[in-house]
Amino acid sequence: MTTMEVESFLETFQTLVMASITPDGEPYASTAPYVRVDNDFYILISTVAQHGRNLLINPKISLLFVEDESQCVQPFARKRVTIEAIASEISREDEHFTRVIERFKAHFDIELVNSLSNMGDFHLFKLSPKSGSVVMGFGKAYRLDHALEVVTQIMGQHQRGHGNG
């Protein structure tokens, strides 16, 4: 497994699945369109939505990119990348805000992005990876570092019990 294979897999997605944490400490799964700049993922989401409110309170987030079920040969070994990340809000006054919004316009409907980025409840969040993992099939699981580079293979314990009965 190479870092290039991980990058190639990530490039096939327009949206990410995310798990944020509610103010009560409960997990909350949702999805959002994203763009990537360098090693960071950016989402433009409303704080009226639960996931937006969650990120304002707790920056810990987990991202999931998973193979389409219709393309999957074996559901138990579905290809996926999971990333643990930290969210930070990018203010409208930050010069990076405009650059990232331009990237959104290049990938999605320009008028919709213009409209959303001007709404007061929509916030731009940068999701910076801390670590992660990639699974490309049985026996093909690897740890990723903060730069999403393959670090080590994950080895499992595949032993059967030796009972007396």
Q: For the chain, what are the domain ranges?
A: 3-153
Distance CA 152, CA 3 (A): 11
Burial-class residue 14 by CB neighbours within 10 Å (0-12, 13-18, 19+). exposed
List, for residues 133-159, the tens digit of each pLDDT value. Answer: 999 998 899 999 999 999 999 986 654
Say if CB 119 and CB 146 are below 8 A apart: no
Q: Structure tokens of 90?
A: 């990018």
Stretch among 1-5, 26-30, 155-159 having the lowest mean pLDDT = 155-159
Please name the residue that has the structure tokens 């026996």.
139
Q: Structure tokens of 27?
A: 């997990």
Thinking of the domain 3-153, which architecture would CATH place it in? Roll (2.30)
What is the widest separation between alpha-carbon atoms in the chain? 70
Provide the pLDDT for residue 165: 47
Provide the pLDDT for residue 3: 87
